[in-house]
Amino acid sequence: DCSSSFHYSSPKTTHRHFCPPEQSFALLQFKNNTSASPSDYSYCDEEHSSHKTNSWTEVICDNVTGNVIGLDLHGSCSWLRGTIDDNSTLFRLSHLQSLNLAFNNFLGSRISPEFGRLKELTYLNPSFSNFGGLVPSEISHLSKLTHLGLSCRVLTIEQRTFDLLASNLTKLSLLHLGSTNLSLIKPFSLLNLSSTMTDLDLSGTRIQGNFPDQIFLLPNLRVLYLCGNIHLTGYLPKCNWSSPLRELDLSLSDFSGEIPYSIGNLLFLETVDITYCNFMGSIPTSTGNLSKATEILFASNHLTGQLPHHVSGLLYLTNLDLFGNSLQGKVPSWLFTLPSLVSVNLAWNKLTGPIDGFQSPNSLEEVHLEKNQIHGWKSLIDLDLSNNFLTHIALHPWKNIRTLDLRNNKIQGSILVPPPSTEVFLVSNNKLSGQIPPYICSLSSLKYLSLSHNNLSGTIPPCLGNFTTQLITLHLKNNSLEGHIHDTFENASNIQSFDLNCNKFEGSLPRSLAKCVKLEVVNVGNNMINDTFPCWLGSLPLLKILILRSNRFYGPLCKSITTFSFQALRIIDLSRNEFKDFLPRRNFTSMEAMKNVDEQATRLQYMGHAYYDESVTVAMKGHDFQLYMLNLDQIYIPNQESPGLAELSNQELRMV
């Protein structure tokens, strides 16, 4: 319902006064004939006399006379249920100036003609309150009205009643009829509306015929909603179109013709929506004059030509939707430099490539370019869109991309595997779901792969360990991956970081990791791995971090010093496993990297490449700590019976 974006608010005053007794009685009688949610709607307590009706938060009284001049029963703070009959005491409140009954439930009852007795009303809004039937012509007696809301799908306005409203309500500035049945109204009768009109909502009213373009020229018009009227035809004015219009919505109507050059005269226009109309021709260069525009929505028309360069000056533009037209030419590079742009949709056009100088502003969340004729982009090798709010990447058109960094966005759906040329593919900290597709193994040049911190599930492809000899980083932590870790890492001779922390892996640790002589990090913590301590990793000359915490490792540790060398080890966490044997002192004397050899040493020169951005969680004294700089030399094996550790001196280990 395109009218749902409209919100009504009645004028308020802070002045309050005790209401006259007869008006307090009328209000209490009205209260007794309706029911309300006690949690949302509070009348005066029983201890209050009827003279203190102003203690109701919804009632406003004149500060001099005490007369009830405002009654706000808007359903967001109260929810009334019942009917308002002709004899309702509500109609005794003859001094009412503002009456808001929106968003309640009056059970399909008609709007009483007695509303016409409230001659002082300037604001009347019974919208979306389940009133039904015909709107009474007596509403036209309220000649002081400036705001009138009659939006409701089961209400109908006849031609005679509309004519009376238009001719008698000469002070009307706001008229909201969204969703009300106006199928009996001839559009030309809109010409009788007051020139004071600022907000006109006729969305979804089923009005039919040709819309008079003179309405666009009303001198005070700021908001015009005609959306959702599929049988409403019309054209935009071609000349002398200058008004304070801020919002224009013609979407899902049958407006046609060209977008006139005169649209550039609407200097206050913020939102224009002509989606799903029948406009044709090119986008006028005068759209560059819409300096206050935040949304330009021209999707699903028959527009041709190129995107005018003048749009590049729209500094406040957040949403540009040109989907489903016949636009031609290159996608302009300036489009992606607009400082406020959040979403751009150029899909389903006839645009060509390459796009030169592609870059992303910090605000950009969505880019849709699918179903065009974009090609090339040979110059695009490195693309960094990390730390934005992107929710979708529709395709990867970059044939020769080497680095694709999409970390720290909100990308949803399944993994879209980039081209085979990719060497760096980083999509951690998103909302990806589904399984890791086997064809990710087609990336034969891949060096760095990070899929951590997503919602991935299922098993990992068996090929993931041996599809390339160039892989340096494999990070899959913080997902819901399960099954066995395949023993296929014989050829991963360059892998340095292996991080599968926080998943649901089970079975044994793959023995082929012992052949990965460049390994520096092995982190398989927080899984369900059921295996003995991996003494066979002790021979790896560069292994600095070994995290086995919170698994089901069991049995004795390595009994031989030669099999428990781990000479480069700086961090080891074996906590929350099922080890039970003592840990002999001799097992740790070979850990040369932990010994306090160089007091002047600075932080570790660890993982020299630029793509290791993960932290390591270790347990110390019963608490978990995140280590980012990885400059500590630590060993921690709590929750085990390990008295042998007490024999180690401070000169032998830097930290225990």
Where b means 16+ CB within 10 Å and e means fewer, 580-605 reads: eeebbeebbebbebbbeeeeeeeebe
Report pLDDT digits (tens) over 181-197: 999 999 999 999 999 99
Where b means 16+ CB within 10 Å and e means fewer, 191-200 reads: eebbebbbbb
pLDDT of residue 555: 84
Residue 570 corresponds to which tokens in the numbers above? 């700086």
pLDDT of residue 588: 60
Where b means 16+ CB within 10 Å and e means fewer, 442-468 reads: ebeebbbbbbbbbebeeebbeebbbbb
Higher pLDDT, 468 or 196: 196
Task: Name the residue with tokens 């010994």.
Answer: 595
Burial of residue 650 (CB within 10 Å: 0-12, 13-18, 19+) is: exposed
Amino acid at site 645: L
Q: Is the pLDDT of residue 377 over 70?
A: no
Q: Is the pLDDT of residue 373 over 80?
A: no
CA atoms within 13 A on the CB side of 322: 26
Q: Is the pLDDT of residue 607 over 80?
A: no
> Can you tell me the mean pLDDT for 138-151?
98
User: Going by C-beta distance under 8 Å and a sequence separation of 6 or more, which residues neighbour residue 143?
Assistant: 119, 168, 169, 170, 171
Q: Is the pLDDT of residue 648 over 60?
A: no
Question: Shortest CA distance to 75 belongs to which of 35, 102, 57, 99?
Answer: 102
> For residue 301, what pLDDT band results from cuts at 50, 70 and 90?
very high
Instruction: Give the separation between CA 505 and CA 491, rounded to whole angstroms.
Output: 22
pLDDT of residue 361: 60
Kindly state the percentage of the chain with pLDDT values over 70.
77
Q: Is the pLDDT of residue 380 over 70?
A: no
Q: Is the pLDDT of residue 137 over 80?
A: yes
Kindly state the percentage of the chain with pLDDT values over 90.
58
Task: Name the residue with tokens 């649209």.
Answer: 263
CA distances from 602 to 80, 230, 282 (A): 71, 72, 64
> Can you tell me the mean pLDDT for 413-439?
92
Q: Is the pLDDT of residue 367 over 90?
A: no
> For residue 54, what pLDDT band results from cuts at 50, 70 and 90?
very low
Q: Is the pLDDT of residue 41 over 70?
A: no
> For residue 15, what pLDDT band results from cuts at 50, 70 and 90?
very low
> For residue 383, what pLDDT band results from cuts at 50, 70 and 90?
confident
Q: Is the pLDDT of residue 466 over 90?
A: no
Grouping H, G, I as helix, E, B as strand and the rest as coil, residue 279 is: strand
**Omega of the bond prior to 354 within 30 degrees of 0, cis?**
yes
Instruction: Give the separation between CA 437 and CA 209, rounded to whole angstroms.
Output: 53
> Can you tell me the mean pLDDT for 615-625?
60
Amino acid at site 151: S
> For residue 14, what pLDDT band results from cuts at 50, 70 and 90?
very low
pLDDT of residue 595: 58
Higher pLDDT, 336 or 260: 260
Q: Is the pLDDT of residue 38 over 50?
A: no
pLDDT of residue 556: 79
Instruction: Give the separation between CA 507 and CA 484, rounded to whole angstroms.
Output: 6
**Which helix or strand (DSSP H or E) is residue 176 part of?**
strand 174-176
Question: Shortest CA distance to 255 belongs to which of 321, 199, 187, 305?
Answer: 187
CA distances from 226 to 182, 245, 246, 520 (A): 12, 14, 14, 64
pLDDT of residue 31: 86
> Can you tell me the mean pLDDT for 559-575?
76
Beta bridge partners of 138: none
Q: Which of 204-218, 488-502, 556-570 has the lowest mean pLDDT?
A: 556-570
> Can you tell me the mean pLDDT for 581-585?
60
pLDDT of residue 580: 74
**Which helix or strand (DSSP H or E) is residue 133 part of?**
strand 133-134
Q: Which of 14-23, 90-99, 260-269, 557-566 has the lowest mean pLDDT?
A: 557-566
pLDDT of residue 401: 83
Instruction: Give the separation between CA 618 and CA 222, rounded to whole angstroms.
Output: 60
Taken in order of first residue, the domains within the chain and their CATH numbers are 1-204 (3.80.10.10), 235-379 (3.80.10.10), 396-656 (3.80.10.10)
Higher pLDDT, 387 or 152: 152
Q: In this structure, are residues 275 and 297 in contact, taking their beta carbons and an 8 Å threshold? A: yes
> Can you tell me the mean pLDDT for 109-134?
96
Grouping H, G, I as helix, E, B as strand and the rest as coil, residue 353 is: coil
Q: Where are the beta strands (DSSP E) in 469-537?
A: 473-475, 480-484, 497-499, 504-507, 521-523, 528-529
Residue 424 corresponds to which tokens in the numbers above? 């760096």
User: Going by C-beta distance under 8 Å and a sequence separation of 6 or more, which residues neighbour residue 601?
Assistant: none
> Can you tell me the mean pLDDT for 348-376?
72
Report pLDDT digits (tens) over 476-510: 999 999 999 999 999 898 999 999 999 999 999 99
